[in-house]
Amino acid sequence: MPDPKKSLLERLTEFLSTEPSSPLERRKELIETLREAQVDGWIDADALSMIEGVFQVGQLCARDILVPRAQIDWIDINLPLSEMIKSVIHAAHSRFPVFEGSRSNVIGTLLAKDLLRYSSEKDFQVRDWLRPAVFIPESKRLSVLLRDFKDNRNHLAIVVDEYSSVAGIITIEDVLEQIVGDIEDEHDVDEEADNLIALDNGDIRVKGITELEQFNETVGTHFEVEDIDTVAGLVIQHLGRVPKIGELVDIGGIQFEVQRADPRQIHILLARQLSKKAG
């Protein structure tokens, strides 16, 4: 146990001068030292979180944070242009994987901004503006992928499994969020009024940071757990861990489906009444 009277510099010097241990043990020791430094006020909580995120990126693979195939907003190249534009506007992303025939046949990536050319070019053809699709294996390390994104100025990759089938997609934003936390842009739900959004199928889209009190008032539940204030905290406390994307968690008559999450936190869930499920 490190001596609490030692300064951060003394602790780091001691850490670097000790006999080498395994990389995993050294990493744990360094993070523990930095956590103690944060408690002592040497670094702030945000800086510590980002440092831990950097270590995490070095350990995670594409499969750990990809957006699953079933949750991708696809563009079918054979759709009428008017339908493509509607899909792009509705999804509000900047990039879309484009397929032809089947979703296993990805032919490129469409940038939403390229559709602006439609209004100025008489013979506009979407095919002419597709960017090459980048394919990566599920096993690709996020640290390597981030460097590739940076070097190649590419922001989206198609993740394929061992059978060369599309498993999902991953963006540079997904990788960066492992370091700096959730990045919300102008299209993300942000206001408290948007913490819970009723969908046409009866499900409710819930931000992980939604307070339990607000969730209870909206859904009619009575969740109350000591020291737990948010829906994400409720789910994590129930499981004893952070769930993976797509995982289903049943709590008190409500089924939560994890839509967006990383190894540290839950961002978005779907909530549905178990009695109204399926059918």
Is 55 part of any domain?
Answer: no
pLDDT digits (tens, 9 = 90+) for 198-232: 887 888 989 888 999 999 999 999 999 888 889 99
pLDDT digits (tens, 9 = 90+) for 106-117: 999 999 998 887
Can you give the length of the chain in residues? Answer: 279
pLDDT of residue 23: 67
CATH assignment of the domain containing 79: 3.10.580.10
- Indicate the pTM of the whole model: 0.59
Neighbours of 111 (CB within 10 A): 17
pLDDT of residue 278: 46
Question: What span, in angstroms and rounded, lies between the C-alpha atoms of 122 and 211?
Answer: 51
Q: Tell me how many domains the chain contains.
A: 3
In degrees rounded to 5, what are phi and psi of residue 39? Answer: -60, -35
Query: Looking at the structure, do residues 30 and 98 belong to the same domain, yes or no?
Result: no
- Weakest-pLDDT range from 43-47, 195-199, 264-268: 43-47
Query: Looking at the structure, do residues 18 and 82 belong to the same domain, yes or no?
Result: no
Question: What span, in angstroms and rounded, lies between the C-alpha atoms of 256 and 116?
Answer: 38
CATH assignment of the domain containing 241: 3.30.465.10
Is 56 part of any domain?
Answer: no
